[in-house]
Amino acid sequence: MKEPALPVRIRRLAEQDAPAVACLEAQCLSMPWSERAFADLAKDGNSIGLVAEWERRVVGFASLTGLSGEGEVNNVATDPAFRCRGVAGALLEELFRQGGEMGISDFTLEVRAGNAAAIHLYERLGFQSAGIRPRFYEKPVEDAMIMWRRSKPTIPTSF
């Protein structure tokens, strides 16, 4: 049976969160960002970092960097003890909302081609596969699926 959604508080990343977020990512990803990278992200005016807190504990993180109206989702991670309870979904919905306020309408990301949980989540939130980047990831080597979530469908052009 599916567990109920975790009632997390979602707030903007602050420089002081960098150690906790780096620690969370190290538990979740084979190529995690450094503490320094998260501290820099918190100060970057073109980026949005969001932390999900439950009982004052950081249980999830997501971020994006905006460029020319497009947003690259960089990191998405949920503490293994709190997965499948809507944490990443809630973070991403809020990321799209705040991204929209920055003028971002289209979002993209890369995901390991074998990461079924993440691909399921992204498809549920409206992302579609747009191709494969062969052997993009290391540790272990794996293809990346490139995904896009566009506000308006792209219309194929004929010549």
Binding site for ligand COA (CB under 6 A): 28-29, 60, 76-78, 83-89, 111, 115-118, 120-121, 124
Instruction: Compare residues 63 and 78 and give the one whose CB is closer to ligand COA.
Output: 78
Nearer of residues 43 and 132 to ligand COA, judged by Cβ: 132
Sign for the pseudo-dihedral over CA of 71, 72, 77, 82:
positive
Query: What is the rounded distance in angstroms from the CA atom of residue 66 to the CA atom of residue 80?
Result: 28
Q: Which is nearer to ligand COA, 42 or 137 (CB)?
A: 137
**Closest approach of Cβ 156 to ligand COA, in Å?**
27
Q: Which residues are tagged catalytic?
A: 110, 122
d(CA 88, CA 75): 10
CB 49: neighbour CB atoms within 10 A? 24
What CA–CA distances, in Å, run from 69 to 10, 16, 45, 92?
A: 23, 29, 14, 17
